[in-house]
């Protein structure tokens, strides 16, 4: 188990953000030895999540920076709110399935919408073991997107 300095850093940051946004929410931070997960629970957390998850992604980035600065340790930190990460992963997997269907039906690469690096990684991993399609990223941030292409025989 890692030094609890990262857990404390994430707890403090989340408390500041929740307070600044004047949200009625509770905070829980867990450390499984590999990933530190901070979870915000409460009603009406749309402001914390932000449009297309921009705010929660920014808070996650800040949490990683703050925790690294405090402990010198670089570990993965995930910030979630009311199951947003799981809902978003499910939506991205459905989009990946649709892109796979389209790529195979039309025999050409299909570009998905722009997404964050962590979202692109999730889709790459989701489709990694496919024997029918390959994935790659194209473009520059913030418009970088993932492409699903049929495998050439």
| pLDDT tens sequence across 4-21 | 889 999 999 999 999 999
**CATH number assigned to the domain comprising residue 97:** 3.30.1370.50
Residues 124 and 69 in one domain: no
Does residue 3 contact residue 74 with C-beta atoms inside 8 Å? no
Q: What is the DSSP letter of 79?
A: E
Residues in the chain: 153
Residues 113 and 135 in one domain: yes
Side-chain-side CA neighbours of 23 within 13 Å: the count stands at 21
**Given this model, what pLDDT does residue 112 score?**
96
41 Cβ contact list (under 8 Å, min separation 6): 25, 26, 27, 28, 81, 82
**Given this model, what pLDDT does residue 2 score?**
45
Residues 77 and 107 in one domain: no
Average pLDDT of the chain to the nearest whole number = 92
How many structural domains compose the chain?
A: 2
Instruction: Compute φ and ψ for 91, nearest 5 degrees.
Output: -65, -45
Share of the chain above pLDDT 90, in %: 79
Does residue 70 contact residue 5 with C-beta atoms inside 8 Å? yes
Residues 78 and 94 in one domain: no
Rounded CA-CA distance 47/25 in Å is 12
**CATH number assigned to the domain comprising residue 42:** 3.30.300.20
Does residue 137 contact residue 143 with C-beta atoms inside 8 Å? no
CA 77 vs CA 2, 7, 37, 38, 114: distances in Å: 13, 10, 6, 8, 23
pLDDT at 3 over 60: no
Residues 114 and 140 in one domain: yes
pTM of the predicted protein model? 0.79
**Given this model, what pLDDT does residue 153 score?**
59
Does residue 61 contact residue 77 with C-beta atoms inside 8 Å? no
| pLDDT tens-digit series, residues 22-50 | 999 999 999 998 899 999 999 889 999 99
């Amino acid at each position: 188990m890692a030094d609890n300095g990262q857990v404390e850093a994430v707890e403090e940051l989340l408390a500041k953000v929740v307070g600044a946004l004047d949200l009625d929410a509770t905070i829980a931070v867990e450390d499984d030895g590999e990933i530190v997960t901070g979870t915000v629970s409460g009603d009406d957390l749309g402001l914390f999540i932000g449009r297309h998850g921009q705010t929660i992604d920014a808070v996650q980035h800040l949490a990683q920076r703050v925790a690294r600065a405090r402990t010198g340790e670089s570990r993965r930190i995930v910030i979630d709110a009311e199951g947003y990460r799981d809902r978003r992963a499910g939506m991205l997997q459905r989009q990946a399935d649709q892109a796979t269907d389209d790529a195979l039906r039309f025999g050409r690469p299909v570009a998905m919408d722009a997404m964050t690096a962590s979202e692109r990684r999730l889709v790459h991993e989701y489709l990694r073991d496919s024997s029918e399609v390959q994935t790659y990223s194209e473009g520059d941030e913030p418009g970088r997107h993932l492409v699903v292409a049929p495998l050439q025989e």
